Amino acid sequence: MVRISERMAGMNPSAIREMLKTAGPDTIAFSAGNPSPELFPAKELAELASETFLNESAAALQYGITEGWEPLRQAVKKRMKEKYSIGGEGDDLIIVSGGQQGIDLCAKCLVNEGEVVIAESPSFIGALNDFRSQNTRLVGVPMDGDGMIVDELEKVLAAEPKARLIYTIPTYQNPAGVTLSLERRKKLLELADKYDVMIIEDSPYFELRYDGEQLPTLKSMDKSGRVLFAGSFSKIIAPGIRLGFACGPKELVSKMVVAKQGQDVHTNLFFQILAEKYMTRYDLDAHIADCCRLYKAKRDRMIDGIEKYFDKRVTYNKPAGGLFLWCELPEGCSGTEFCALAAENGVSAVPGAAFDLNEDKNNRGFRLNFSLPSFEQIDEGILRLKKSIDEYLAAKLG
Amino acid sequence: MVRISERMAGMNPSAIREMLKTAGPDTIAFSAGNPSPELFPAKELAELASETFLNESAAALQYGITEGWEPLRQAVKKRMKEKYSIGGEGDDLIIVSGGQQGIDLCAKCLVNEGEVVIAESPSFIGALNDFRSQNTRLVGVPMDGDGMIVDELEKVLAAEPKARLIYTIPTYQNPAGVTLSLERRKKLLELADKYDVMIIEDSPYFELRYDGEQLPTLKSMDKSGRVLFAGSFSKIIAPGIRLGFACGPKELVSKMVVAKQGQDVHTNLFFQILAEKYMTRYDLDAHIADCCRLYKAKRDRMIDGIEKYFDKRVTYNKPAGGLFLWCELPEGCSGTEFCALAAENGVSAVPGAAFDLNEDKNNRGFRLNFSLPSFEQIDEGILRLKKSIDEYLAAKLG
């Protein structure tokens, strides 16, 4: 018997990732968070790879520095600064192995075991499990249609002197799909100042905007060096290359560099080089616009189906961007029970309990992804969900 | 002011990695741990990459599972089992983002904050800093020409009830270059049993053997499920792709999978696919034999220079494999002072203090790498070291 450390002893694999492994070949997957592979710029990356192997293989395959490939760092800094006012005098930027690593390293550098991380509830399971694996305590703040309810946040901050970090996905939140309003963004920053806590602004989807105005990032409004912006290439280039970045106060980023040395030395250098070439030689903004066109159409297709077929007792939101749509079953129902039934009917969705900070099995929500399935799969999957809803509500509520 | 977590507050960047960043263009680098880029199978990887982009880009650029690309896992399992008897009934294997990640995840899953990790002193700075960043306490065991002195290990185990993990590089140790004898390997496993501690067998170089017989790995002799074998592709394919593996008891590996989900979700999938294709379509053993031929010649060239030019008061070892050679200055000298002088003379070496578990500035050793420099650079670098030794010993000892 191996004695596992306290922090890991109670940890189990992500329910979503396990679900993805076991789904049958005919299952329609609304459970993933995957981008649509037809959007991967494979042809462009293939050309850049051939060129890099030919001209730069000695450098591209050798050890690199932990901070990241300098031309990529500069390109990302420039783009984030010019387009989104992210990154000022007191900030630095590190290239990481996917947005997830930015979150993990930040928490490792800021939060002691036993201290508190505050997050929206429900929230991204990958981040929550990582905070759990660092032996921190999670405290949730509820959301409404304007994102995290900041008055509730203040109550939590007042009650939790060990709170060190607020983890938020302010834009197209995963799983709820909601966006934090401008007024609340300001209030959130004020509260972080007042209670002396740091913020991770996790924003892997913020450029996937389908409706509504673009709100300023928390990072761009941060006057007091409290925000780390965790960005990702997974949804705008491709996730399999594991590439992201984090921009935050220099003192924090320099510690994250040290932590990253111990975790993976540096991020795959070959794809750092490809990403830099892709950003500087092709039109990334035009590519993102293509992504937005496709995902908006898929979102609309899914919502059309929900409107047409779902029992009206099931509510849903219409996200202005991102990859996810959140549905809620009526009182007395369980998302966990429902998703098990849906899986039997050949469609996978993720039960709200997976995202719930207390892993509450009575959570009535379930999350649907619209970026990965084809239009035809969306149509068929919605019909299978309709069947599942009708069966479940009949059995549960009569 | 950002308040940094206790575990990270005292942490600084790796002395070696910082040194590599600041070395001038004319400096001859004996300080790195880099393989020779002429050995990277760039042509083969380029062909495999073109094919993968053409036929499999949708899968190769998409999210993968945390355990690793299944065909690669199978290929590595098969090779390790057949060639080295690594991996049995009770074991599993995870693909990681370089050997470093295997070490980090293993410690995260086994050692609580405040508990003890035992390591050879001196040892690999990347692992030591990672253990420090996990708020564990390091206790060192001295080595001689046969590796870790196991009688000293037993004293440490008896004195440290909080010891949880022994971190060892039994084969071509970094930085000392020594190999643990067969008798000591057996004794080390017995002691781990007796004191109920786990072992990380870090073996990134074990296939780079230039002389002497091949000793069985600790993992292959482990009867009681105490050993995690941390392997790497960095020295036999290329380090920039960040690819390694870890093979250990199923219970441990399954927790490492959960920890990895939180740290980087999975390893760059594209290069996992390339590595599998490379292993199964090309002759990896023949490639490793090519590496060994070149590195043996470089080692011999460096030793010839040392024999010919170094003051006899400076001792050195002759490693039977790996990438490093260890020198020791006479009593009263400091490797740190010496390496600073050598850097002024245009040659970089790493002072023993960097690898010392107590970071003792009076450590008399310094580490030389012979895999990266060319034959000409080895000749010139040795002359610059000779000059530095003569100057240093004259000033220090008269």
ipTM for the complex shown: 0.97
Residue B213 φ/ψ region, left for φ over 0, alpha for ψ in the -120 to 50 degree band, beta for the rest:
beta
Residue type, A260: K
Please determine, for residue B63, whether its predicted confidence score (pLDDT) is greater than 80. yes
- What mean pLDDT is reported for chain A? 96
- Write out residues 180-199 of B within 8 Å (CB-CB) of A: 198
State the pLDDT confidence band at B359, using cuts at 50, 70 and 90.
confident
Angle B282-B284-B288 from CA coordinates, rounded to 5° = 140
Q: What residues of chain A lie within 8 A of the CB of B225, using their CB? A: 2
Distance, in Å, from the CA atom of A103 to the CA atom of B87, rounded to the nearest integer, reads 33
State the pLDDT confidence band at A254, using cuts at 50, 70 and 90.
very high
A297 CB within 8 Å of a chain B CB? no
Best A21, A247, A261 member to test B by mutation, with max B CBs in 10 Å, is: A261
Nearest-CB residue to A8 (from B2, B43, B259):
B259
Residue type, A185: R
State the pLDDT confidence band at A19, using cuts at 50, 70 and 90.
low
Q: pLDDT tens, B143-156?
A: 999 999 999 999 99
| Structural contact between residues A34 and B63, judged by C-beta atoms closer than 8 angstroms | yes
- Residue B206 DSSP code: T
Q: Which residue has the tokens 């040892």?
A: B123
Q: What residues of chain A lie within 8 A of the CB of B3, using their CB? A: 110, 164
- What mean pLDDT is reported for chain B? 96
Nearest-CB residue to A113 (from B66, B113, B268):
B113
Which residue from A minimizes the CA distance to B268?
Answer: A241
* Amino acid A361: pLDDT: 77
Strand A324-328's sheet: what is its strand order?
A315-316, A324-328, A365-369, A350-351
A257 CB within 8 Å of a chain B CB? yes
* Amino acid B15: pLDDT: 66
Cβ neighbours, 10 Å, residue A364: 21
State the pLDDT confidence band at B244, using cuts at 50, 70 and 90.
very high
| Structural contact between residues A261 and B17, judged by C-beta atoms closer than 8 angstroms | yes
* Domain(s) of CATH 3.40.640.10: residues in chain A: 63-281
* Amino acid A15: pLDDT: 66
* Amino acid B267: pLDDT: 98
Q: What residues of chain B lie within 8 A of the CB of A225, using their CB? A: 2
Please determine, for residue A103, whether its predicted confidence score (pLDDT) is greater than 80. yes
CB contact (8 A) between residue A268 and residue B271 = yes
* Amino acid B360: pLDDT: 80
* Amino acid B14: pLDDT: 66
- Name the strand (E) or helix (H) holding A46: helix A42-60
Pairing assessment for the beta strands B116-120 and B147-148 based on DSSP bridges: unpaired
- Residue B236 DSSP code: T
State the pLDDT confidence band at A44, using cuts at 50, 70 and 90.
very high
Q: pLDDT tens, B159-183?
A: 999 999 999 999 999 999 999 999 9
- Please tell me the total number of residues recorded for chain B in this structure: 398
Q: What residues of chain B lie within 8 A of the CB of A7, using their CB? A: 108, 112
| CATH entry, B63-281, from 3.30.450.30, 3.40.640.10, 3.30.110.60, 3.90.1170.50 | 3.40.640.10
**What are the tokens at B224?**
């009681």
Q: pLDDT tens, B248-262?
A: 999 999 999 999 999
State the pLDDT confidence band at B24, using cuts at 50, 70 and 90.
confident
CB contact (8 A) between residue A7 and residue B241 = no
Which residue from A minimizes the CA distance to B129?
Answer: A262
Q: Which residue has the tokens 């950002």?
A: B2
Cβ neighbours, 10 Å, residue A10: 9
Which residue from A minimizes the CA distance to B131?
Answer: A262
Instruction: State how far Cα B101 lies from the chain centre.
Output: 12
**What are the tokens at A203?**
């924003």
| Structural contact between residues B31 and B348, judged by C-beta atoms closer than 8 angstroms | yes
* Amino acid B22: pLDDT: 61
* Amino acid A163: pLDDT: 98
CB contact (8 A) between residue A249 and residue B109 = no
**What are the tokens at B327?**
């020198």
CB contact (8 A) between residue B264 and residue A264 = yes
Please determine, for residue B16, whether its predicted confidence score (pLDDT) is greater than 80. no
Three state DSSP letters for B153-174: HHHHHHHCCCEEEEEECCCCCC
Please determine, for residue B1, whether its predicted confidence score (pLDDT) is greater than 90. no
* Amino acid B20: pLDDT: 58
Among A247-261, B17-31, B188-202, B290-304, the range scoring the smallest mean pLDDT is B17-31
Nearest CA-CA partner of A314 in A390, A233, A221: A390
Q: pLDDT tens, A231-244?
A: 999 999 999 999 99
B62 CB within 8 Å of a chain A CB? yes
B6-40+286-397: CATH topology: Aspartate Aminotransferase, domain 1 (3.90.1150)
Among A19-23, A305-309, B374-378, the range scoring the smallest mean pLDDT is A19-23
* Amino acid B13: pLDDT: 74
* Amino acid A95: pLDDT: 98
In chain B, the DSSP E strands lie at 28-29, 91-96, 116-120, 137-141, 143-144, 147-148, 163-168, 198-202, 227-232, 244-249, 315-316, 324-328, 347-348, 350-351, 365-369
Strand B350-351's sheet: what is its strand order?
B315-316, B324-328, B365-369, B350-351
Q: What residues of chain A lie within 8 A of the CB of B98, using their CB? A: 264-265
Q: Which residue has the tokens 């053409």?
A: B54
| Structural contact between residues B316 and B353, judged by C-beta atoms closer than 8 angstroms | no
pTM (predicted TM-score): 0.97
Which position has the higher pLDDT, B196 or B16?
B196
Average pLDDT over residues B83-98: 97
Residue B363 φ/ψ region, left for φ over 0, alpha for ψ in the -120 to 50 degree band, beta for the rest:
beta
* Amino acid A347: pLDDT: 97
Best A233, A270, A372 member to test B by mutation, with max B CBs in 10 Å, is: A270
State the pLDDT confidence band at A14, using cuts at 50, 70 and 90.
low
CB-defined contacts A:B, below 8 A = 267
B44 CB within 8 Å of a chain A CB? no
Percentage of chain B exceeding pLDDT 90: 94
State the pLDDT confidence band at B21, using cuts at 50, 70 and 90.
low
A99 CB within 8 Å of a chain B CB? no
Angle B291-B292-B293 from CA coordinates, rounded to 5° = 95
